[in-house]
Every structure is written in structure tokens, then in C-alpha cells.
Structure 1
């Protein structure tokens, strides 16, 4: 197959590309330039698309003996991932930009361009497995290394994109094994630190980024009775379940800590209350993406759901209804916010995904 290998400049994508070459594929490396300020340098594990990353990707491609290109996708990234991030926070929801990046950039824009150029598949360094059934159907599963599993952020890709995806690291036992393989192959990125946090917020100050982009919008913080207990400079800067950074002038009457329990950006109000108000037993999601046609779930179906990239799955009953997903949890889940990605599993297999609305 002709394979387009996405090279981020990190160790995972480099080893994934190397394995694709070993498998006999015709591999071409491409680095996605996503930042509009590529003259900046990396700061440890934060940021992306820096000069160092592009150079590291080029050196990896040279070592593997494959062609290498840089594709400027910064406009697409800004207009989809960054714009969605800002609009979701402005509406009082809590988005996951990694989910949107995989949906719109890595397995939409990149794949679309690759297919137009005659490539058969896109290869990435994600930690997830693709199992092929006897009937040829493809299933997305958790990675063998659960500590690195990225199936949660990949669930949004849909069956058509799944058919064109390759994840060579999915069955690898540990990240240490990947780094050791990089050393053996002479790849200079073997000790490069993993990236984390939001890639386009290089300093890690999400609230500062939102304030710069959305501006200050002073408002009130109310308790569960409706009494004013504090003030904020923008309701968008808060998320359900948040405890730190509330800066309330006085504690609750019983001295118990208070958490954000609601965000109303129309009224520009943040509501806080005791931890007990954070527990929910039902979830509703829309914009459903379903990866398991053999598990229709149009009737109540036992499964597990996960609402954070590295959160614990919770047993639940799920029912699909014309693009909407209704979830009844077997035990309460705490601090769930609208806008989060709801991923549905059966064991290690990803069944589908939706965006939480309430």
C-alpha cells in the first residue's frame, strides 16, 4: 500500500513510520504544520509544530530513507480546532481539542489530501488497535498499553476513516519498548519528552488564553440557593467540577469546599455548590458517531462509558435514538460537563462516540 505517515517530530510517530516501512509499504512522511507561529521554540513538553519538531521529523524521515514533506494546515487547524475550542468555552461547555484535531485534521484534512494524491492509508503513532474480523469489518480497540491508550480521542473518526487508518503501535506493551526500538533504529528522538496539555496553549495557561481571545466579561458567582457569593471575570473560564481558582471571599456555612456545578453564559453566571451536587446518573449526547454496525444499540444495551481521555470507564446502559445517545449509569459519575466527549466501549472495543449535551 501507499501509506502517508504523519510525522509529528516525536518518538511515537517515528517508530510507527518505521514499522510501516518494515511491513513493506510505500511510505511517505509528512509533517503537519499546525501553528501560525512556527518560529517559536518548544518549551519542554509543551507546544507543538515548532522548528525543533519539524527538524526532528525530517531527521527521522532521512533515517528511514523515505520522502518527507511539510504541509501547512495551520488555517484548517485554526478554523476548526481552535475556533471550536473558543466557541465551546464561550457557550459554557468543556471541549476536548484533541478529539476535534483527530476528527478534522488528522483523519479528515490529512486523509482527504492523501487520498487525492493516491495514498491508501494514513499511519500515525497513536496508541490504539484495529482488529479485522473474519467478515472484513474493522473494529477500534484500546491499546495493549492501557496507560498510553488513545482510543478515547480516536472514537470520533467514524467507520470510513477507520478503514484508512494504521496504528502500528497499538499492540506494543509499553512506551519504554517504543523508546528502546527508537534507540536500536538510530532515531534521535528516542528520549524526546511526550507532549501534553493543549498543544496550541504552549504556556499551559488555558484561562489566560481564553481571556486574551474572548476578553473579560465580569459577572456573579452564585451558590445553590441563588445567593451571590463571589465574582468572576468570565464564565467561560470555568468548568463543571472545578474547585481551585474560584477565589470566593468566604467559605460555605458548613465549611465544606464548593465546586462549580453550573455555567450559564447567557446570564454570565457561575453556580457553585457542595460536591454532592456534582453526581449524575444519566447522560445525553448528540452528534453521534457509531463504529459498530453489528451492535446497533437501538434497544437498551449494556456497555461501559468514558467521559475523559484517561478516566475510568463506568458500566452503563446505552440506547441510540436518531443521532442521540441516552445513557443510564449503574453508579453515579461526578463532575460531568456539557461538551465533553462521551465514548462507549464494550470491553476493549470502541462502539461509538457522542458529545455530551446534558
Structure 2
């Protein structure tokens, strides 16, 4: 099989490539140049798109004896991921750019080009399990629960999954590092990437301020009384507690949290923790990882954060949206987040949270 491996320069994608070579596949490595910001290409950048990363990926490819290329997807990445990120925050929502990158870049743009070039599949170093049931490719959680990345892959369609490979599916991270060391790969002890790759200094609020500008607004309590001021609603997300800088303490002395954001008036609403309780989630733009959409009402699990717990729920899905009713109320669920639906460990699909109640 001809396999295109997306090599980030980290240990996971490096070992994924090594395993495919050992299995006898025709493997080609490709590093994605995604960021137009020169700061993200400095040595030691906090994300996964630095010059150092591309050089690490090339050295691994040389060690494995496979062809290696760098593909410039910076324009599409900016349009589909960065601009989407900014638009969501401007609208008072909380997006997940890594999930959007998987959906729009790694398993759309790269897969499309790879198929056009005659490759059979795209492989990555994500921790998730892919099994076949007849002609259906089924995505499951990884064996290592601490590293499971099925959530950020939940937006993939059945057609994309049929052309995907996740060679690390049954492995825990210490084993991956040991394997890399045994192969003589310099990335064996390289730290994991973290933060948002296109925000090189990790200052998300500063990045949003520079891109969206500052505009004075009010922070109000649930009764409408002004308790503080801010310089832009995009600096906040539902469930936030720190950094509110409130000028008026709560009457009961308890901490307050962001309960809601109104972009039209540039207003942020704060209140007690119990105000974050959510039992109903309405989500839009569903995508289905399984071959047939799960329409109607069914029992399942929903996860709303990359490392969050899967919550038992009832799901009612139609053509345009999904209503999720949680068995037990949860807190801090923000519009814009992805709701990934599971049947046990099987990923069923995903949708974008529009409203909660």
C-alpha cells in the first residue's frame, strides 16, 4: 500500500512512519507548513509548526530511508483554521482549532492531494483505533486513555476514515518513546507540542486582541448590575473564572464565572458556579463517522472537550441538528465547542454546539 505520512517532527508521527516502513508499505513523509507567521518558525516555538520541527521530520525520514517533502498549506490553513478561530471568538463562541485542522487540512486538503497523487491512505501519529466491519471503517478510542485523541478525530467522515491509518492505536506513550530510541531517532525524548500552533508565545488573549482589536465593554451580573469592565468580549469564554478583574465582589463572597457572552452589546455576564449547569445541548452541522447517520433518538455518550469525560446522554438527531439531553447536568459547556458522540468506545459523529440550556 502507498501511504502518505503526515510528519509533524514529533515522536508520535515518527514512530507511526517507522511502523509502516517495517510493515513493508511504500511510505512517503510530508511535513505541513501551515503558519504564515514567521515567529512560529523560530527554534523553540511552542506549537508544532516550527522550523525545528520540519528539520526533525526530515532527519527522521532520512533515518528511515523514505522520501520526504514539505507541503505549503499556509493559505488554506489561514482561511480554514485561523480565520475560523477568529470569527468564532468574535461571535462569542469557543472553537477548537486542532479539531478544525484535522477536519479541513490533514484529512481533507492533504488526503485530497494524496489520493490525486496515487496514495492509498494518509497516516498520522494520532492515538485512536481504526477497525473494519465489512466496508465500514470504524473509529474507536485508543488503548491509552490518557493519550486518546478520538475526540479531535470525531469530525472525520466515513470516506475520510476509509483512507486513514493510525498506527499507534494500541500503544501507550512510554512504549512509543522506547521504540523511537531503539530506532535511533533523535525525537525519542522530544517534548510533546502544546498550545495553539499559530500562537507561538501561548498568549491567546493577546493574539485575539491584536487580530480583533480592543473595545471597552461591561461585565454584568445576572441582575444586570455592572460589576466590572473589559476591553473585548473575545477575551472570555463560558466557564472562565480567572482574569475577570471584577470591581464589585459578590454579595455572598463566592467566586463568579462567565455565564454568557453577548457580542452585539460587547457584554459579559458573570454569576455563581451553579449558573453554568447544562442539561440540554443543541448542536448544528452534524458529521457522521459511521457509514449510516444515527437519526432519531438513541442512547449514547457525548464528550465536549479533548480531555473531558464522556457523559451518558440521550441523542435526538435530524438532518440539520442534534439535541443532546444529559443524564446528569454538566458545567462550563460553551457554544462553539464540538460535541463528539460515542456508542461505547465507537465514535459515531460530531456536531458544533450552538446553544445550551
- TM-score range (shorter-chain normalised) is over 0.9
Query: Which residue in the other structure is 2:330 paired with?
Result: 333
Distance 1:292 1:30 in 2: 28
Distance 2:272 2:218 in 1: 18
Query: Which residue in the other structure is 1:251 paired with?
Result: 249
- 1:150-299 maps to which residues of 2 (within 5 A)? 150-172=149-171, 174-293=172-291, 296-299=293-296
Q: Does structure 1 retain, via aligned residues, the 8 Å contact 2:220–2:228?
A: yes
SS at match of 1:248: coil
SS at match of 2:270: strand
Aligned length: 354
- 1:279-358 maps to which residues of 2 (within 5 A)? 279-293=277-291, 296-358=293-355
Q: Does structure 1 retain, via aligned residues, the 8 Å contact 2:156–2:288?
A: no
Shift of 1:280: 0.8
Unpaired segments ≥5 residues, structure 2: none
4+ long deviations beyond 3 Å: 37-40
- 1:137-156 maps to which residues of 2 (within 5 A)? 137-156=136-155
Query: Which residue in the other structure is 1:54 paired with?
Result: 54
Distance 1:120 1:292 in 2: 20
SS at match of 2:280: strand
TM-score for the superposition, normalised by structure 2? 0.97
Query: Which residue in the other structure is 1:100 paired with?
Result: 100
Shift of 1:38: 4.8
Aligned pair in 2 of structure 1 residues 303, 76: CA closer, same or farther (>3 Å)?
A: same
Distance 1:60 1:38 in 2: 24
Q: Does structure 2 retain, via aligned residues, the 8 Å contact 1:92–1:265?
A: yes
- 1:23 maps to 2:20: no
Q: Does structure 2 retain, via aligned residues, the 8 Å contact 1:42–1:48?
A: no
SS at match of 1:357: strand
Distance 2:217 2:241 in 1: 18
Shift of 1:300: 1.8
Higher mean displacement: 304-313 or 285-294: 285-294
CA RMSD of aligned residues (A): 1.1
SS at match of 2:70: strand
Q: Does structure 1 retain, via aligned residues, the 8 Å contact 2:158–2:291?
A: no
Unpaired segments ≥5 residues, structure 1: none
Distance 1:100 1:137 in 2: 23
